[in-house]
Amino acid sequence: MLHDPNRVYVFDTTLRDGEQVPGCQLTTPEKIDIARELEALGVDIIEAGFPVSSPGDFLSVVEISKAVKEPVVCALTRANKTDIDVAVESLKYAKRPRIHTGIGSSDQHIKHKFNSTREEILERAVEAVKYAKKSVEDVEFYAEDAGRADVAYLAQMVEAVIAAGATVVNIPDTNGYCLPDQYGSKIKYLKENVKNIDKAIISVHCHNDLGLATANSIAGLQNGARQIEGTINGIGERAGNTSIEEVVMILKTHAVLGLHTNVNSKNFFEMSRMISSQMRMPVQPNKAIVGSNAFAHSSGIHQDGFLKNRENYEIIRPEDVGFPSASIVLTARSGRHALKFHLERLGHKLDKDELYEAYKRFLTLADAKLDINDEDLQTLMAHRLVKN
Ligand code: KIV
Ligand code: ZN
């Protein structure tokens, strides 16, 4: 496939890996709404489901295929004919269908999940890709648990599935096991040792068991991968998947990497809140990029620096990710500059002595009440008026 060498394709699996999370299940109409928003966000591929797993998932893939035009619609399968047949059927309305088939690649999976051998698994991988390829041109192969797989065997598997027709080779760190340099080296090894690697795109699919999913994905991209798989808010099995919003903003913030996506980052905040409410999964306040505190400055030293020049404490502009605005949160740790900023915003111009007095009253109030809002500030100033 010909493509811009610096373009990173974004593969969203919120509706598949994300939706596997207990309590996050969605109805088909909810999935269609989300798929339309993902299309507006500009993701390149939507993994719409695992059609053989249930009639509901099958229907969702059918309906999402009808609902979106631009993104590739992808359906997950195991490496067997029934799964692939069902997936092909579910994708019949997709303008750009993709089958995502695969099998375990680590000795752990080969021996203790499949009770098999490396040779037999390799054969099944190739057969699955060849079979899928008879119905769909775009076939992505996943080498499950590649993070723990022997790299020479992984390279052999990748080479064989590309020869069988795979257009994308997904190297999942299924258990979130790798360190960034280990994962990056694995991708580099594939780039350097798989002789037909230029015929496919390498994809990174990382889980967050050790909190390294984003770091590992970036390491993969730095070593030649050009597709990143993840979810909105990082939801997914166990500790979750790579957060798409984090990877996209890392690539934007570190332009020196020379990589770019097609994603419209201004939609992130809205997208995040939609996923959170539909999937009943709150976003932790300190979540990078989309958490409610991601642009909230609360300590006096930071507030003072931020008010002098926002870039002192802001590496991403909130508007670039659709965040309503940066906020200066008033707590007992806030300084006089922050109080002055908020009082002026509410129309109260104070001289130095007045501010000094107001700040004393503010600290008493803030110690008693953890969160100070506009109403509290008005009360604070009403007190001053009565006194005057
Ligand atoms: O984590 C994983 O290995 C997966 C595959 C099914 C792609 O989700
Ligand atoms: Zn996964």
Per residue in 230-284, pLDDT tens? 999 999 999 999 999 999 999 999 999 999 999 999 999 999 999 999 999 999 9
Contact predicate 212/175, CB 8 Å: no
C-alpha 242 to ligand 2 mean position (Å): 9
Separate counts of helices (H) and strands (E) for the chain: 14, 10
C-alpha 15 to ligand 2 mean position (Å): 12
Lowest mean pLDDT among 125-134, 189-198, 207-216, 293-302: 293-302
The conformational region for residue 293 under phi > 0 = left, psi -120 to 50 = alpha, else beta, is alpha
**Relative to the alpha carbon of 142, which ligand is closest?**
1
Predicted model pTM: 0.95
- Residue 205, ligand 1, Cβ within 6 A: yes
- Residue 172, ligand 1, Cβ within 6 A: yes
Cα(214)–Cα(222) distance, integer angstroms: 12
Tell me the domains of the chain and their CATH numbers.
Answer: 9-278 (3.20.20.70), 296-387 (no CATH)
C-alpha 239 to ligand 1 mean position (Å): 14
Contact predicate 45/71, CB 8 Å: yes
C-alpha 213 to ligand 2 mean position (Å): 11
Contact predicate 145/175, CB 8 Å: yes
Asked whether the predicted pLDDT for residue 2 surpasses 60, the reply is no
Nearest-atom number in ligand 1 for the CA of 207 is: 1
Q: What are the structure tokens assigned to 101, written together?
A: 């088939």
pLDDT-derived band of residue 325, with 50, 70 and 90 as boundaries?
Answer: confident
pLDDT-derived band of residue 371, with 50, 70 and 90 as boundaries?
Answer: confident
Cα(313)–Cα(225) distance, integer angstroms: 32
Contact predicate 110/118, CB 8 Å: yes
**Relative to the alpha carbon of 174, which ligand is closest?**
1
- Residue 104, ligand 1, Cβ within 6 A: no
Q: What are the structure tokens assigned to 369, written together?
A: 């009440």
C-alpha 230 to ligand 1 mean position (Å): 11
**Closest protein CA for atom 2 of ligand 1:** 174
- For residue 287, which of 227, 232, 361, 338 has the smallest C-alpha distance? 232
**Closest protein CA for atom 8 of ligand 1:** 17
Asked whether the predicted pLDDT for residue 385 surpasses 70, the reply is no
CB atoms within 10 A of CB 257: 15
C-alpha 299 to ligand 1 mean position (Å): 41
Nearest-atom number in ligand 1 for the CA of 172 is: 3
Q: How many CA atoms lie within 13 A of 303 on its CB side?
A: 21
Nearest-atom number in ligand 1 for the CA of 142 is: 7
**Closest protein CA for atom 4 of ligand 1:** 174
**Closest protein CA for atom 7 of ligand 1:** 142
C-alpha 142 to ligand 1 mean position (Å): 7
Asked whether the predicted pLDDT for residue 384 surpasses 80, the reply is no
